[in-house]
Structure 1
């Protein structure tokens, strides 16, 4: 049994993951679609034609902004089952999925591109970086995954039911149009990241100044956080967070796959490194062969 979990917040417009639902449906013979929403009455026809049994959990005060409360509701709903819980591979999907997996104390495997369901386990494939290398994982029990799988939406009648839910935040949440450098990396539209090429902890002070001017968040490689130049929460890569900003600045980072896996989906990548053969330049839209510290100083003066 598997559950595909979606969110429909009318203040954010129509949800677009029906294609992902169709892709998941093609892989699981027994699938239930769970939708947390604040306008269930508008969604019955949409999901009645999806071909997947759907349960609409309705709360007129629900908002996807309350991530902790949303994860808590899902935990209480699913904690006694032993199934696979599937989210769309998006910022929102991964944020809630990670919280749910932590609460359930089960594995979380993000960004799955292929699923094979066997009699005793679920085989999950994920592409590594921009290479043709694929990481294969096996989920033998309860687990949480996020998927980047689309399918063809074929209209087929399905059972749709509605149930009440209550998700109440301790403090009112509000949308924030502009986020500063102190915000979580996962929400940043611009990221400035530094590697060991910045020499020492002092080298990150100018980077933080640049982040302030660009309204960006500061990231780092594992090598940087391992030596304590920045906290572990700033680590980007396999062992840290994955980011998909509009602009990603890479300063003094060679571009090992352990790091680039966490940022290779950025819309625009600008890299600065003294080594013209550094792997980061293969990902970069724009590259500068030069001293990262000097380039940072020049940018601070230009912005």
Structure 2
């Protein structure tokens, strides 16, 4: 498929609606899709447009139908046998064909490993720009353009970017940043089937097998409670205590970049701008100073509890509850107190 030219002098009035590029893995819809629908509905309401979810795959009709329950006006199911397994070429070509035919105004993509792979290629093929890793989206009340905000300069600045001359306006959004759409029992949307022009020769990389890791699964995005450790732990052994507190609370274990870079815990636990963005009900920051890069990844938590010896640590400016003290004394006391209670509910 040839790339479309950038700055094509297009008629902006030809482009309509807010599209969410749904992501499915092995036939199951990824949670980021529901987050994007939630944000897409807010944007669509401000510009008086419809929300359309787009899902590519094969033999996943029943899974695709589930998205109707989240308030989309339409689902376009890109259906083709060559899309059964994910490939960058196949998914980008098929989605680009649909975009060029239907002309959406806004396209949202999850900033997952798949979205970061396929999103830029779609943008290149349809001749538009893409703003990566957005943490906030809004509509300019003057002209209806999407305002795409993302961290810049190592998280020290927030840049708001626009796409004034090309369409669609494309953004990738990190999982865990946006609020999920609400589930409704009686959906009203419709499903449209789109069959792309796709051949074997178009897909240059073939899936020949899968290697399943034996690492413990870590699901920070959906966790209700996260206990995170940082530089203040002073060593890998500190995460044994963090794990014990997490087990007591039924929580996941997170970590700051400093702890990961020190080799104290695997990078799959990292929370922050260069890790996973989370918004749990409770985030317990243990020995984490509160650098802006870390706050960018957990600042939307419902309740933040901070434990730090330094009373001037930046984390205390954003937390709901702060404990100034030695975490090696505070955390064991917390575990003991929790163990003595028959119920513990945040």
Query: TM-score with structure 1 length normalisation?
Result: 0.63
Q: Name which of 209, 217, 220 aligns with 2:244.
A: 209
Contiguous gaps of at least 5 residues in structure 1: 60-67, 88-92, 150-158, 166-180
- Counterpart pick for 1:294 among 319, 329, 342: 329
Aligned twin of 1:34: 53
Which among 80, 83, 99 is matched to residue 114 of structure 2? Answer: 99
Number of the residue aligned with 1:153: none
State which of 308, 313, 318 in structure 2 corresponds to 1:273.
308
Q: Distance in 1 between matches of 2:287 and 2:277?
A: 19
Is 1:261 aligned with 2:283? no
Equivalence map 1:167-246=2 (5 Å): 182-246=217-281
1:144 aligns with 2:144: no
CA distance, structure 1, for counterparts of residue 308 and residue 292 of structure 2: 16
Separation in structure 1 between the aligned mates of residue 172 and residue 66 of structure 2, nearest angstrom? 29
Number of the residue aligned with 1:85: 107
Does the aligned pair in 2 maintain the 1:196–1:224 contact within 8 Å? yes
Residues 116 and 124 in structure 1, CA contact (< 8 A), matched pair in contact too: no
Alignment coverage as a number of residue pairs: 252
How far does residue 55 in structure 1 lie from its aligned partner after superposition?
A: 4.4
CA gap 1:42/1:104 in 2 versus in 1, 3 angstroms: closer
2:148 to 111, 124, 138: 124
1:109 aligns with 2:129: no
Q: Is the 8 A contact 2:119 2:172 kept in 1?
A: no
Return 5+ residue gaps in structure 2 as ranges.
1-14, 23-27, 56-60, 80-84, 122-130, 180-188, 196-215, 340-346
User: In 1, Cα distance between the equivalents of 2:252 and 2:48?
Assistant: 39
2:57 paired with 1:57? no
CA contact (8 A) 1:242 1:261 kept: yes
Name the CA distance, whole Å, in 2 between partners of 1:105 and 1:35: 17
Q: Indicate the residue corresponding to 1:249 in structure 2.
A: 284
Deviation sequence 1:95-148 (CA, Å, 0-9, x none): 5xx53232344563333232459xxx97523589xxxx7422356988433496
- Whether 1:162 and 2:189 are equivalent positions in the alignment is no
C-alpha RMSD over aligned residues:
4.7
